[in-house]
Structure 1
């Protein structure tokens, strides 16, 4: 039985959930990368500084293997403003990290780097140190994308993996590079919020035969030039991300 409670702390939006798990998987070095997952919400007054921080990091590291995914959780929608980018699946992903990282609660804003380190998402110095460490100490798997076809409404993607384990899964995400929202209710009422790297759709696959082909639907009203595909290999045994890549979308055929 799981017990959940709402906790309010200065400068932090927090929802508690008692979770536990054990995981001690090695992460041998190959080529460095940093996957930054921001768990955020337009309904949380503490989140805009974290959104601003990852936007700044995105510009500074645009030529390096740093991959940003902003997951908008749905549990703050009850406070009067429904985040249009929110998804219950993203809240579940955050809960899974609470379990694998042995923390007693989920909260916003939260950043998880390479699936193995978490901290408050507005901590500039902590994030930069985590990126630096990740770029020098990375995972064992590789993933590549090819034969990406843009029909104008859906994307067909072929992926190929190397160095995966029996616990590995592939995660493919369609990510909207930027957006703004005029928030009209809730804790951020009256503010125009800017976002980067918003996860709009995500699919997960068991690695199986090491490669495969799938389709993702483009979000309505968003130019394909404002979308990219980010692909991850993640170890289900512990949550560590062991491989990552990204590709822009081709022009619709």
Structure 2
């Protein structure tokens, strides 16, 4: 199956130029090497190195990198301009899934399977290498495309039983420039890449070849520049687990 993938730099250029959906180039058939989710905050003094790593990953062609800005550091003097309670709730759900007592920033989660300090480049890259191409990597083909007024998500079938999984649509901004005026990072100007602006489940997934259609204008309604689609298993308590497949798509320009 074909995997649609553009680097963040290409996404920014295409969106800025108002390109139509048909102008985006599809890559050859492949699966991303990893999905890296970073939980971060503009008010966290330890987060800039993790934000830099996330930006490097977002610019690559084989990693889906998403930044979830959380709101629990806002009391330190700077209200994160991209934080949301929903992002914080997703991190709390991961915390319960991993059996940890509390959340922290910067936290990176690789493929929904392993967590680590998101500023530790070596640990993040080692986890990606260890999982890539094996049973803990991307094992399901996922494609996203525009067809008329629909955003079409297609998946291949799993090669093992899947009890409980969902198709998660994650909206993000490819690049947002922020100047932080107060708090731990006062005076810092930064361009944050792939900051999540919203997400929702598009339905359950039962391990079978699947095709679903969503309104293409949903991205515009979310105020986002693009979206990623994650096929993610859920545990017995309906907490997030292993990500089995993923794809990314820019805005249609509409």
Confirm or deny that 1:131 pairs with 2:125: no
Q: Is the 8 A contact 1:200 1:219 kept in 2?
A: no
Q: Report what 2:140 is aligned to.
A: 141
Confirm or deny that 1:186 pairs with 2:183: yes
Q: Is the 8 A contact 1:37 1:70 kept in 2?
A: yes
Q: Report what 1:47 is aligned to.
A: 47
Q: TM-score, normalised by structure 1?
A: 0.75
**Where do 5+ consecutive residues of structure 2 fail to align?**
1-29
Distance of 1:148 and 1:112 partners within structure 2: 32
Q: Report what 2:199 is aligned to.
A: 202
Q: Report what 2:249 is aligned to.
A: 247
Compute the RMSD of aligned alpha carbons: 2.4
Distance of 1:63 and 1:191 partners within structure 2: 28
SS of the aligned residue for 1:104 comes to coil
Distance of 2:179 and 2:31 partners within structure 1: 40
Q: Which of these residues, 53, 68, 84, is aligned with residue 87 of structure 1?
A: 84
Confirm or deny that 1:159 pairs with 2:153: yes
Distance of 1:196 and 1:84 partners within structure 2: 13
Q: Report what 1:214 is aligned to.
A: 214
Q: Is the 8 A contact 1:35 1:68 kept in 2?
A: yes
Offset, 1:54: 1.6
Q: Deviations over 1:134-162 (max 9, x none)?
A: 32222443322122568xxxxx4221223
Distance of 1:175 and 1:123 partners within structure 2: 24
Offset, 1:113: 0.2
SS of the aligned residue for 1:84 comes to coil
**Where do 5+ consecutive residues of structure 1 fail to align?**
1-29, 151-155
Q: Is the 8 A contact 1:81 1:184 kept in 2?
A: yes
SS of the aligned residue for 1:133 comes to helix
SS of the aligned residue for 1:83 comes to coil
Q: TM-score, normalised by structure 2?
A: 0.75
Distance of 1:170 and 1:143 partners within structure 2: 10
Q: Which of these residues, 225, 228, 233, is aligned with residue 226 of structure 2?
A: 228
